[in-house]
Chains A and B, each alone.
Chain A
Amino acid sequence: QVQLVQSGAEVKKPGASVKVSCKASGYVFTGNYLHWVRQAPGQGPEWMGWINPKSGGTSYAQKFQGRVTLTRDTSISTAYMQLSRLTSDDTAVYYCARDKSGADDTFDMWGQGTMVTVSS
């Protein structure tokens, strides 16, 4: 079964960092880019960046440059999203999403989402 399974909900204090995992199964992990998208309460989705699982190459939305780091571990088919210097504005559901045809920026499969709450 082709799926992306994400790690569980997190509660963090302002200024802290969070690391969310996304484990792929049912397909060749290195064959498709993985994107990260977040959705704050009441807002539309917001794209954060992508990682090429084969090469480890990354690209980040300018808004998150310097705060987000995407990595992967091919031995366990898992991608990670780390976001640092958290503020209350980072409270959102974070999704990983597979690129449909390798790298065409269309998301054909999504993880179940990870709720990150930033609160003092």
Chain B
Amino acid sequence: IQMTQSPSSLSASVGDRVTITCRASQSISNYLNWYQHKPGKAPNLLIFAASNLQSGVPSRFSGSGSGTDFTLTISSLQPEDFATYYCQQSYSRTPLTFGGGTKVEIK
């Protein structure tokens, strides 16, 4: 299953609302996870099963979607949110696949 993210990068300011999309090449129900990755650090799970906030993740992060189209939204961008974000499908293990990433940069 191919996962396509858009945009591949974006520039935004602190306080902006940011939306990242992820499209699957076939229906994956709600088997979609989102991760944040900062350089030199381990990736961090933000959202699981499309819309469930992982424990300890700020509520400004939210996820939505089902089937083939999904969205990660950051309601008010904070300085610590500048990172690369990846979606990952957990519908099919043959193989598990990630999107190509969306890099969120400071405007």
Given contacts A44-B98, A100-B48, contact A105 B42 (CB under 8 A): no
Quick one: which of A100, A104, A106, A107 has the most chain B CB within 10 A? A106
Q: Are B42 and A112 in contact (CB under 8 A)?
A: yes
Q: CA of A112 to CA of B41 in the docked complex: distance in angstroms? A: 6
Expressed in whole angstroms, the minimum distance between the Cβ of B97 and any Cβ of chain A is 7
Which of B's residues lie within 8 Å of A, judged by CB? 31, 33, 35, 41-45, 48-49, 54, 86, 88, 90, 93-101
Which of A's residues lie within 8 Å of B, judged by CB? 35, 43-47, 59, 61-63, 95, 97, 100, 104-113
Chain B residues near A43: list those with CB within 8 A.
100
Q: Known contacts A45-B43, A107-B33, A110-B43; can you find 19 more A-B pairs with CB under 8 A? A: A43-B100, A44-B86, A44-B99, A44-B101, A46-B98, A47-B96, A47-B97, A47-B98, A61-B95, A62-B95, A63-B95, A100-B48, A105-B31, A105-B93, A106-B48, A108-B54, A109-B42, A111-B42, A112-B42
Closest to B90 in A: A105
**What's the count of A-B pairs with C-beta under 8 Å?**
56
Chain B residues near A59: list those with CB within 8 A.
93
Q: CA of A100 to CA of B99 in the docked complex: distance in angstroms? A: 20
Q: Are A107 and B95 in contact (CB under 8 A)?
A: no
Expressed in whole angstroms, the minimum distance between the Cβ of A42 and any Cβ of chain B is 10
